[in-house]
Amino acid sequence: MSTDNLNTPFMRALAAGIAANVPTLMWGGPGEIKTAFTENASKTWGRECKTIVGSTREAPDFLGVMVENNGTISYSTFNWVTELNDAAQGLLFLDEFNTAAPSTMKGMLRVVQERYVGDVKLNDSVAILAAANPVESAVDAYDLPAPMANRMMHLDWVFPEEFWLENIATDFKNVVYPQLSSLLTGDAVTRRANVAGAVTAYHKHNKGQLKPGVPTTDGQVDPVKAGKAWASPRSWSNVIAVLSQLEAHDEEAALLVLKGLVGNHAIAFIEWLKKADLHDPAEVIDNPSMVDWKNERPDRLFALVHGVAALGLSKPELWEKAALALTACAENGKADVATPSAAKLMNFRPAKAVMPLAFRDAFAPLFSKTMHTVSAAV
């Protein structure tokens, strides 16, 4: 059976959130199979799924309860936490998310961000997914508190109508779901170098977009806007993590990711990105001469050197190539731009990587000046 009808921008954005380990919240009307779809699809994804409904829980169900053991007080954990951590991969599914009592929601804050339940931390192999109905169609629901909303990627659930029509006659037995890996890029490390360079360059040259604050209306915090996606250093960090999982050409899914993490700042970033026409660090380290280092625009150059360094540090086999690319930047009169990235390469050189003499010579004076400045300050 084909899975093409599930290869949608929504599914790719959802898969990217799960793969990036960024807590993701699906918003959709009641009765649209969010829960059933998640619990069934998780089996194909090879993830042990544990569904927790916040409205039936209390804060201690997430914070744990104090227990004494040989005079030492600690917080207990729960079977579902142990089972998720023992699985090869897990999925914590927080259903009916915005119906949890406010006191319970406070207890869930640390679970969603720091990933602690009691004194036990969820393994990195455990992803967090949530589902919620809009306030107007849910029972005793409310707008999410701003701190919780900002921890999550918000996606509007897209009811898979063709999928439903195709499988309802067989009561959804023997359904084929797409593997998460089939929806994502095959090289998230290289992709991350591009995305991180783009995001940092955007904020370097567009001041005030990194932390504009909790959304307000007429000078007061707007609970509706604050309960969805809004920009902060945390959500921009999540942008890098999630977009790194998508193919570079997947603009539709990328738009959903950006809107789901930074809200109305998404369009401004996309428009800037199209105009910026940034270099691909992976191409540049293979051929540094393709860049006009002397005359390159500051924003393109800033993004490039950061992307080159990220690639060289993430893939040890590319460290020397990254060093030579930064050397070309320095030798063409832009050593000041490349120095922070060169310093990172120098400080975290892989054991087997050979430092090119040209790299050492190009940055030696600046490194020496930096060391002298630090010593003088001390």
pLDDT in tens, 209-262: 999 999 999 999 999 999 999 999 999 999 999 999 999 999 999 999 999 999
Which residues does 116 contact at the CB level (< 8 Å), separation at least 6?
110, 122
Asked if 149 and 228 touch (Cβ cutoff 8 Å), the reply is: yes
Which residues is 153 bridged to in the sheet?
A: 24
Q: Quote the CA–CA distance of 301 and 279 in Å, as a whole number.
A: 9
Does residue 73 have a pLDDT over 90?
Answer: no
Q: Quote the CA–CA distance of 330 and 328 in Å, as a whole number.
A: 5
Percent of the chain with pLDDT over 90: 80
pLDDT, tens digit, 9 for 90 and up, residues 25-68: 999 999 999 999 999 999 989 999 999 998 899 998 898 888 88
Band of the pLDDT at 369, cuts 50, 70, 90? low
Range from 170-174, 179-183, 193-197 carrying the lowest mean pLDDT: 170-174
Query: pTM of the prediction?
Result: 0.91
Q: What is the DSSP letter of 48?
A: E
pLDDT of residue 376: 43
